[in-house]
A and B are shown apart, each in its own frame.
Chain A
Amino acid sequence: MIEIKNLVFQYKKKNPLFEDLSLRMENGSIVGLLGKNGAGKSTLLNLMAGLIPLQQGSMIVNGFEPCKRQPIFLADVCMVPEEFAFPSISIDHYIKATSPLYPTFDCEKLDRILVEFELDRTSKLNQLSHGQRKKFLIAFTLASNCKLLILDEPTNGLDIPSKSLFRKILVGSVTEEQLVIISTHQVKDIDTIIDKVIVVEKGKILFDQTMENINKQWYFETVPSLNGLDGVLYHENSMAGYKVILPVTDERESPLDLELLFNAIINHSIQNN
């Protein structure tokens, strides 16, 4: 569980990134952290992982203050950063060297994921493509079984089959004790797997809703024309006409169009109720 209260953060010689930001995330969910470039998504993830110190406010992650970097806290946090580097050793060697540091690491789970990602344990990490290395890092992170999994742009560099495989594996491997935070610009890659959407904008939480609440409140549809439609909250041109967001007035539900929702939130057409 993550609980952030009145967070204030500012990089040197820059405007404050977060001013009085408060946020709560429960375990047992996959959270999509969205925002425009420079909104502070990566900074927020780095703060949660203890990579940068807190300036003001409080942040509790799984009962620990991340900036203290207690070993027991670090053993329960695993991160897929946007940029990463591996030593020039084989996958098998890396696993044998690193996995014992994570007490909850599941080698069998890792083997299953490696098979699904078509990765060979004997392959040299530095001879793999960027996408393959990313798949290995995702596999390692999921197999760590850490309570907090932070994935920063996890689908960048993955091919189309790998992206769908990533979604399948992620949904199948996350337990009720775990919290997964995914930060991405490629919202279509995660729209079917997340339980909660958080949108960060100008240092504030612009939107924080569970999928259940979103489905209860808004309806996503593609229509040939806007004529005759009442109460359109947001619309965008599309090949088939218009993509629209409408308020839910009856029991009907629609598949979430996360990109459309994100644009509506950024344009303040939809508010966090």
Chain B
Amino acid sequence: MKTNDFFNMKRFGLLVKHDLMINQNKYLLKMLVLFLGLYAVLCYLMMNNANLFCIQYWDGHKQEPQGYTNFFIFGLMALGGFVGGSFSDLGSKVKRTSFILLPASTFEKILHPFLIRVVLGLIIFLLFFWVDAHLARMTVANAPSIVLQGLVIEPFSYVQVIDTWGRDHFEQLVFALFSLGMYLFTIPMFFKKQALLKAIFALFVGVFVYIFFFILLSHLFHPGIYDGFKFSVPDYKIYKDFRSFDFLMSSIGCISWVFLLFLGYFKLKELKL
């Protein structure tokens, strides 16, 4: 196989330029909606639930503001929607023709939406969230008509998100989120209409089947102990604090993105009208 058939920097650059030029209005509109949407919702939350954005003390412990982290997860869901629309054009036969005929390799055709939607999308989202969180805090704190009843809204920093999620499992969580992103990036390719919704539905079905499998095994190997939808997950210590269940979840979260990317690549390679 010639390298040029797989990846060529100049051709890839032209493909990225092509995508940005063709979809520039769509992307700019989405960026504007994201920026204003994050700002508006953060302002609303700060005005109505200011205590979520303040440091709280209970039982002698200091608790970082939860509001930013909770809303950050909603923001990530919106980003997931954007990532999930990477191959939305493939649902239409007419647009699929144009996509297949674009003079680029399959690898370049999967890499360019990854770069634009996942990498650039994430960078822009993180930047917008940070700017919006600070803007919203300044707006709410300086607006004379808004009474915060003595509460002081804390400035946002990404350290709060990391602390809330827990530093011990932060890497695993990032990988799990990345895997989820890759699921939304690739699986909609397998559906023609309402691809993203069907992919999300398939995920729920998959999780249900997974849990159902554990329920079945629990009933099979521990009859009489577990009834109804109760189940047990075999869990034992592998090394120090590292348990088998941690290993299972880490494996799914940290490795599945590789499998999903390969799956997406071969689906795109075998794409036909």
Contact = CB atoms under 8 A, between A and B. Distances in A.
Given A53-B272, A69-B106, A71-B105, A87 B22 contact: yes
B93 interface: yes
What band does the interface of chain B fall in when counting residues whose beta carbon is under 8 Å from A? 20 to 34
A117 interface: no
What band does the interface of chain A fall in when counting residues whose beta carbon is under 8 Å from B? 20 to 34
B100 interface: yes
Residue in B93, B95, B100, B106 whose Cβ sees the most chain A Cβ within 10 Å: B100
B100 A50 contact: yes
A90 B18 CA distance: 14
B30 to A, nearest CB: 15
A102 interface: yes
A238 B273 CA distance: 41
Contacts of B105: 69-71
Interface in A27-75: 46, 49-53, 69-72, 74-75
Interface stretch (A78-86, A158-166, A172-180, A243-251): A78-86
A237 to B, nearest CB: 40
B101 interface: yes
A97 B15 CA distance: 9
A98 B94 contact: no
Nearest to A76: B103
Interface string B80-99: 00000000000011110110
A81 B8 CA distance: 28
A97 B17 contact: yes
Residue in A50, A75, A93, A100 whose Cβ sees the most chain B Cβ within 10 Å: A100
Nearest to A103: B103
B269 to A, nearest CB: 8
B192 to A, nearest CB: 15
Given A84-B94, A101-B14, A70 B5 contact: yes
Query: Which 3 pairs across A and B sit closest by C-beta, in order of nearness?
Result: A97-B21, A75-B103, A74-B103
